[in-house]
Amino acid sequence: MTTTSERHLLRQSVSALVDKHADPAAVRRAMVSPLGYDESLWAMLCEQVGVGALVVPESLGGAGGELADAAAVLEELGRGLVPTPLLGTTLAELALLAADDPDAAALERLAAGESVGAVVFDDHDYVVNGATADVVLAVTDGRIQRWTDVTAEPRQSLDPTRRLARVRPGGSMQIAQDPGIADMAAILLAAEQVGAAQRCLELTVEYTKQRVQFGRAIGSFQALKHRMADLYVAVQAARAAVGDAVASPGPVRAALARLAATEAFCTVAGEAIQLHGGIAITWEHDMHLYLKRAYSSAQLFGPPREQLRALEDEVF
């Protein structure tokens, strides 16, 4: 079990690498690269921090960590919109681990960052890591399948920092019953959304302290203070929901976390565009990237209306 202090050190290690190797300019270079992410940064994250090994047991070449560890890392990566294959790879590992006899060789490669994983849910058309994954699994009707001879077709995405693809299998075999991979996906994505929302809010607060209008920094106006206070509350509420879901994963908590994180991120990003004014919609400014990530992530793994239906089915 990972202690709080160990998880704090994990966050610090990831944050240090991001600060050094994934500033906004580096993110822009990565998002237009052939794979859509910085291979050297991904290698450092795996070799120096072990992000690919977090949820894999030590007996299978992993770090023996928990879902909370992966969520903490994804939150840090989300802050900077850093493109990596971590989300899809972690989900692929969790799916493989559901088997009675997990594929140790595949898990070791994924944990080391030598392979990239992807998990396909109901929508085969927009799969995270779909074009780069060499370990592909699918969750269908309560079962997990291992796909082989996969063909992938890149799909146009609103968010240039996250590549999506349509994937189709040449063959498949059932390997396990589904332990709730969709819930884990929702929780991990929600953690990433919270990190991005928090950073989006920080950038907006910084800007309003610098932008002068009528002889005063616009952040000093009471109306804007109230708006940013409301945004802060929304982000913290979402963080609390994600924390509950990470501590005790399940359909209800996963749906609540996703709904709270999606609402917080979309609201913060939309307000940030308004508060930054015209500069926010220029290609040179990064705020539009946060807006695109917010609205793209809102539809990933099922749009909010599906989360609401899932929550309704569990509660009523």
Name the domain count of the chain: 2
Pairwise CA distance, residues 251 & 315, whole Å: 10
Cβ count within 10 A of residue 228 = 18
Asked if 196 and 299 sit in the same domain, the reply is yes
Q: Domain end: 152, 178, 204, which one? A: 178
The reported pLDDT for the residue numbered 316 is 67
The reported pLDDT for the residue numbered 28 is 97
Burial of 190 from C-beta contacts in 10 A (0-12 / 13-18 / 19+): buried
SS3 180: coil
The reported pLDDT for the residue numbered 206 is 87
Pairwise CA distance, residues 3 & 68, whole Å: 11
Asked if 100 and 188 sit in the same domain, the reply is no
Pairwise CA distance, residues 82 & 86, whole Å: 10
Q: Domain end: 178, 208, 239, which one? A: 178
Q: For residue 56, what are its two tokens?
A: 């894999």
Asked if 109 and 191 sit in the same domain, the reply is no
Pairwise CA distance, residues 36 & 44, whole Å: 16
| 8 A C-beta contact, residue 188 and residue 74 | yes
Asked if 52 and 166 sit in the same domain, the reply is yes
Dihedrals φ, ψ of 178, to 5°? -75, 120
| 8 A C-beta contact, residue 140 and residue 108 | no
* Domain hosting residue 29, numbered range: 4-178
Asked if 140 and 202 sit in the same domain, the reply is no
Q: Domain end: 178, 211, 231, which one? A: 178
| 8 A C-beta contact, residue 290 and residue 81 | yes
Give the domain CATH number at 111.
Answer: 1.10.540.10
Pairwise CA distance, residues 139 & 106, whole Å: 18
The reported pLDDT for the residue numbered 221 is 65
Pairwise CA distance, residues 263 & 260, whole Å: 5
Asked if 298 and 190 sit in the same domain, the reply is yes
Asked if 190 and 173 sit in the same domain, the reply is no
Asked if 195 and 251 sit in the same domain, the reply is yes
Angle ∠(175,177,181) on CA atoms, nearest 5:
100
Asked if 162 and 211 sit in the same domain, the reply is no
DSSP letters, 2-69, are --HHHHHHHHHHHHHHHHHH--HHHHHHHHTSSSSS-HHHHHHIIIII-GGGTTS-GGGTS----HHH
Pairwise CA distance, residues 240 & 165, whole Å: 32
Mean pLDDT by 10 residues, the chain (316 residues): 84 96 96 96 96 94 93 97 98 96 96 97 89 96 95 94 96 95 97 97 85 67 79 96 94 94 96 84 89 96 80 72
Give the domain CATH number at 306.
Answer: 1.20.140.10
Q: For residue 78, what are its two tokens?
A: 């989300």
Asked if 208 and 161 sit in the same domain, the reply is no
Asked if 65 and 150 sit in the same domain, the reply is yes
Of 256, 192, 199, 207, the closest CA to residue 231 belongs to 199
Asked if 229 and 165 sit in the same domain, the reply is no
